[in-house]
Amino acid sequence: MMSKIMVVDDSLLMHRMYDIIFMRYKGVKIVHAKDGQEALDLLQTNPETDLIVLDINMPVMNGLEFLDRVKSERLYSDIPVIIVSTEGKEEDTIRGLEAGASGYVKKPFHPASLHSIIEKIYSNTVAQS
């Protein structure tokens, strides 16, 4: 069961959209970061994060740099990361998955696509609405 999801995206609109999308998961807290560096800082105070939803194109530290840092840090390396990005070419998807992402969704997307990946990651342990 998930209790905390971190959303890393530089778009305030996307953060609001994720708040609505993740209402499906009862009792889950959403932690918001606007770039990879802020997300790394927030992970220090939120090590119990269960899932990271990650954009690629962001200022300060992009998503792939963040992913590399998270996957190389023993404390965070097991946290599943789903990339949600406008970078949807096949080589971008492969690069993200090879870097350790658990899934890749191209923007714009239907919430069902994201829910499907989450459900696969958590193998039916996520509360359904």
Q: According to the model, what pLDDT value does residue 124 have?
A: 44
Round to whole Å and give the CA distance between 94 and 17.
26
Tokens 């970078």 -> residue: 87
- Amino acid identity at 121: I
pLDDT score of 58 more than 60: yes
- Inter-residue contact 84 to 53 (CB < 8 Å): yes
Residue-wise pLDDT for 3-40, tens only, equals: 899 999 999 999 999 999 999 888 899 999 999 999 99
- Inter-residue contact 61 to 36 (CB < 8 Å): yes
Q: What mean pLDDT, rounded, does the chain reach?
A: 88
Per-residue pLDDT, averaged over 33-58, amounts to 94
Tokens of 123: 């193998």
Least Cα distance to 103 among 59, 48, 53, 63 occurs for: 53
Q: According to the model, what pLDDT value does residue 8 have?
A: 97
Please state the three-class secondary structure of 5-61 as a single string. Answer: EEEECCCHHHHHHHHHHHHHCCCCEEEEECCHHHHHHHHHHCCCCCEEEECCCCCCC
pLDDT score of 128 more than 70: no
Domains of the chain plus CATH, in order, are 4-54+62-109 (3.40.50.2300)
